[in-house]
Chains A and B, each alone.
Chain A
Amino acid sequence: MRKAAAYLDSASSEPLHPAARETLLAAYDRGYADPRRLHGPGRDARLLLDNARAVVAECLEVRPDEVTFTASGTEAVHRGLLGLRRVGPVAYAAVEHSSVVHAATWAGDAVEIPVDRLGRVDASAVPADVGVVAVQSANHEVGTLQPVADLDRDAPLFVDACASMGRLPLPHGWDALAGSAHKWGGPAGVGVLVVRKGARWVNPFPGDDRIDERSSGFENVPAALAAAAALRAVVEERAEVGARQRALVDRIRRAAAEIPDVEVVGDPVERLPHLVTFSCLYVDGEALVTELDRRGYGVASGSACTASTLTPSRVLEAMGVLTHGNVRVSLTRDTSEADVDGLLTELPGVVREIRARVGL
């Protein structure tokens, strides 16, 4: 019999936080109107939007007027990065999320900053004479934290903080930064763009006549408010949840490393609390994901055969670690010790079975 599923892919999307669910339903009743209008329902919507902005600012320890809600994390990345760019190429860490790479490619002139085997950029290796620098707060596939505050640079700095927002305090030293609500347990369809007061940021896209000049389109007020409620809850819980997740990830790292010819990647200490990635030699990544799913464990993979592009993860490639047989396990706030124990009980047998299919 198939047991109840353990969803272990929070790095792709965290289940909606209970605090967000309640807020979302209430806000749909109160936050439907156009927040620019002067009638009662409009003023109500405006109040909710301003409240959402204030809560997010407080959680992130930034000013409310530095916070913009966008339609997604990707949109926040595109606006944040391209709006900072001066004349010159976009320099980005080789392990950045694809949204950064696509924005850099769209800008037309890009240069990669190499990373080491752990996936970390060398803070002194940022090229000079570039138009903007993009370095993530933490890597979304392997968890490694980046030395954002220590980067030796002369161009403005954009930070993609989608993987860490809510889970860790923001790093220092950036000019614009992006986050994504569904990665911390808010609803999908809400991105957060933060532009530092005084940063030279110019809207790279057509403008609009909305409340916030850095965004365009009708504000998703209920979702923004729910995202803010989830963020507040996550920040309040993070000491406890983060410590629990950190210990569980340590266990997964140790157990995976004991399976023959398995390499656990990313920084073992300076990392996100909730995720871990490892690669199994001679194992087909798609088969591994499928077999674990059959046993009730939902995990992601950076192997080529599991990607829509049929190319291996750029992150693993840039680190020079094995790209096939790759699994990323990322814990939700509810992931229990029993879930992790169950996964670790199944894993060695699944790897052995897939290797046996090819005679190894």
Chain B
Amino acid sequence: MSIDLDLDCRGLLCPLPVIELGKRYVEVPVGGLVAVLADDVAARTDIPAWCRMRGQEFVGEEEPGRYVVRRLS
């Protein structure tokens, strides 16, 4: 899987990883992939919830603490 943007959010507490994702996902083209590396436990729920609320695609937790999102719009 080719990731267009890697966001290292380790050490950041909620809601900072989601804020980082919300600010920076526009850096990838529509259809592109963003990977968020986060160790805050809330990210496991909040990143898929962000995708649902913002109309983006949650691809999955590719490995523990690494969440992949596809920009749809």
Chain A interface (Cβ < 8 Å from any Cβ of B):
261, 263, 279, 281-284, 303-305, 311-312, 316-317, 320-325, 358-360
Contacts and interface: CB of A to CB of B under 8 A. Distances in A.
Interface of B: 13-16, 18-19, 22-23, 40-42, 44-46, 48-50, 53-54
A320 B50 CA distance: 11
Contacts of A304: 13-14, 40-42
Given A261-B53, A304-B13, A312 B23 contact: no
Given A312-B41, A323-B42, A281 B53 contact: yes
20 contacts: A281-B15, A281-B22, A282-B15, A282-B18, A282-B22, A303-B42, A304-B40, A305-B14, A311-B41, A312-B45, A317-B45, A322-B46, A323-B42, A323-B45, A323-B49, A324-B15, A324-B42, A325-B15, A358-B16, A360-B23
Contacts of B54: 261, 281
A320 B45 contact: yes
A85 to B, nearest CB: 30
User: Chain A interface mostly helix, strand, loop or mixed?
Assistant: loop
A322 B18 CA distance: 10
Contacts of A321: 45, 49
Contacts of B41: 304, 311-312
Nearest to B50: A281
B45 A322 contact: yes
Closest 5 CB pairs of A and B: A324-B15, A322-B49, A312-B42, A324-B14, A317-B45
Given A261-B53, A316-B45, A321-B49, A360 B15 contact: no
A257 B13 CA distance: 26
Contact of B50 (A283, A284, A322, A358): A322
Nearest to A322: B49
Given A320-B45, A324-B42, 15 more contacts: A279-B49, A281-B18, A281-B50, A281-B53, A282-B19, A282-B22, A304-B41, A304-B42, A316-B45, A317-B44, A321-B45, A321-B49, A322-B45, A323-B42, A325-B15
B18, B23, B44, B45, most chain A CB atoms within 10 A: B45
